[in-house]
Structure 1
Amino acid sequence: MEPSDVTPRLDTPWFDGVADTVVVSGPDALTYLHSQISQDIRELAPGEARWTFLLQPTGKIDVLARVIRTDHETFAFETDPGFGELLLARLDRFKIRVKAETALVAGPGPDAVTPEVERSRIEVGWPRMGAEIVPGETIPAETGVTLHAVDFRKGCYPGQELVERMDSRGATPPRALRRLDVAEGASPGEPIVDADGAEVGVLTSVSGTLALGYVKRGAEVGTVIDFR
């Protein structure tokens, strides 16, 4: 498998129009959300958006979402089709005596993602829930998007300890997301092998001869996904 030479970009609209959305509104919405997510949204103006993780206390990912501030007390969280209920459950998990309401607006479903849109996502290298991100298993540092989904200056939130520890120590995760060129007919779940034929990872998304997959630390295969 040869490295891909596609440069990562963040302007591909693969997410628009297909996301599941959870709306959080109320006088306590901002303070509650600030205590739960990896991103700092206090300075967001209405209409602005940022990416964020919602993590388990262990630091593993529950959901990757885009949060949009729609007005002073209302925020809309968008995530991949089919994961809205998980997002809603995670946002409700610690919502005790909080003056905020949550509501799920389901998108058109995973089948609404066209092959062209999926390929554009793979070209960019952005991880998808259920493919590159397995809830309860994947850690943020593996995905290559922590600099866009984590504010390392903000206060405590569930899972912060692992994220901060890896960043402060400059630790390299055991595996990293990479973009690869593959043979026609390859499919997710197939092993990734190096030049010597050793198995070093697994494919997670494939479109034609372009793919994403996780590769073990130290293996020289593919192009590391690292959004900066």
Structure 2
Amino acid sequence: MPPAKQRGSPVTDTSLAVRRKRDVVAVVGPDALTYLQGQLSQDVEVLEVGGSAETFLLQPAGKVEAWMRVSRLAEDHYLLDVEAGFGAQVVARLTRFLLRTDCSVEEVEWDLVTVIDAEASGFSPPVGGLALPVEWPGLVAIDLLGPSVELPDGLAEGSPQDWEARRIAAGIPAMGSEMDSTTIPGATGVVDRSASFTKGCYTGQELVARVNSRPAGTPTRIVRASGSGPAPPVGSEVTVDSDPAGHVTSVATVDDGFVALVSVRRAVATPAEAMAGASPVSLLGV
């Protein structure tokens, strides 16, 4: 049964429903909370049932294993949803330290439908699942996550490319594009919303805390960018005043040109006008 739009549903003429592929990992059992609290950068203890938050899963040395969302489905039932193709990596990392712990960690086949330009209050959760708000600069959406999710009635269906353009414009990083196993969390631009500095210890915490305490920041950072010409390919070198400044990590064509995410060097001040390959581009900052 599709999630029904409720009376007074806050949707707009631009609202789109997009099917997205995410890998989902279930962590279930009496020790699930305690275990995740020691493995994730987010403060899992403060999550209420039905709540969610972005989080890092880090390597022992502090680099990124995965950036994902943690949601609390029930008292001892948590879900981790991550970019498609990274679920097995999350399972492998979590089970590596799963010793004398009464909880299970396994991938599950769940659906995800994102309703762009709509607020969570306008939709009911899918049966057995969750309705999760998505709020970023210039983007308000709702993720309908569940064992089986149909497209909501009365909404136009968008494409994965529609989501990709909005993701990039909002500055949302993605595993495999803006970060991988060599990435320092501080270089992603999402530590403030993905890590707690008041909870107890967790694996990889030392590097996060050390970088956060340094005014200079990390050697690189992710910034939003846009241009009105042809979209540069991912990987294109970005220059400012002919000096190397970084490279394009994600790009999407939009009606008036393109939007992009760019990894820039620490010394690059933004906003700034730059070149991405042969295309002029405006570096917009975080």
**TM-score, normalisation: structure 2:** 0.69
AA aligned opposite 1:117: W
Structure with more relative contact order (C-alpha pairs < 8 Å, separation 6 or more): 1
AA aligned opposite 2:202: Y
Structure 1 match to 2:49 = 46
Matched length = 210
Higher mean C-alpha deviation, range 54-63 or range 182-191 = 182-191
Deviation at 1:191, TM superposition (A): 0.6
CA contact (8 A) 2:223 2:284 kept: yes
Q: Could you report, residue by residue, the CA deviation over 1:41-98 in whole angstroms, capped at 9, with x for unpaired residues?
A: 1121110001110011221100001000011111000111111111111221211111
Distance 1:35 1:15, change over 3 A: farther
The answer as to 2:176 corresponding to 1:130 is yes
Deviation at 1:34, TM superposition (A): 0.6
C-alpha separation in 2, matches of 1:113 and 1:128: 17
Structure 2 match to 1:116 = 162
Within the candidate set 75, 80, 99, 2:78 is matched to: 75
Percent identity, aligned pairs only, is 37
Distance 1:122 1:13, change over 3 A: farther
Higher mean C-alpha deviation, range 181-190 or range 139-148 = 181-190
AA aligned opposite 1:114: P
Deviation at 1:103, TM superposition (A): 1.5
CA contact (8 A) 1:24 1:102 kept: yes
Within the candidate set 188, 193, 196, 1:143 is matched to: 188
Distance 1:70 1:54, change over 3 A: same
The answer as to 2:155 corresponding to 1:155 is no
C-alpha separation in 2, matches of 1:22 and 1:13: 26
Within the candidate set 219, 236, 258, 1:190 is matched to: 236
Structure 2 match to 1:173 = 218
C-alpha separation in 1, matches of 2:175 and 2:111: 16
The answer as to 2:261 corresponding to 1:216 is no
Structure 2 match to 1:200 = 245
CA contact (8 A) 2:19 2:159 kept: no
Distance 1:158 1:64, change over 3 A: same
Structure 2 match to 1:26 = 29
Distance 1:16 1:163, change over 3 A: farther
Deviation at 1:36, TM superposition (A): 0.5
C-alpha separation in 1, matches of 2:54 and 2:159: 20
Helix, strand or coil at the partner of 2:213: helix
Helix, strand or coil at the partner of 2:44: coil
Distance 1:70 1:84, change over 3 A: same
Structure 2 match to 1:37 = 40
Consecutive unaligned residues of structure 2, counting only runs of 5 or more, are: 1-14, 113-157, 273-282
CA contact (8 A) 1:55 1:159 kept: yes
CA contact (8 A) 1:81 1:108 kept: no
C-alpha separation in 2, matches of 1:187 and 1:14: 27
Helix, strand or coil at the partner of 1:169: coil
Structure 2 match to 1:65 = 68
Deviation at 1:223, TM superposition (A): 2.3
- Give the number of the structure whose alpha-carbon radius of gyration is greater: 2
AA aligned opposite 1:53: F
**RMSD of aligned alpha carbons:** 2.3
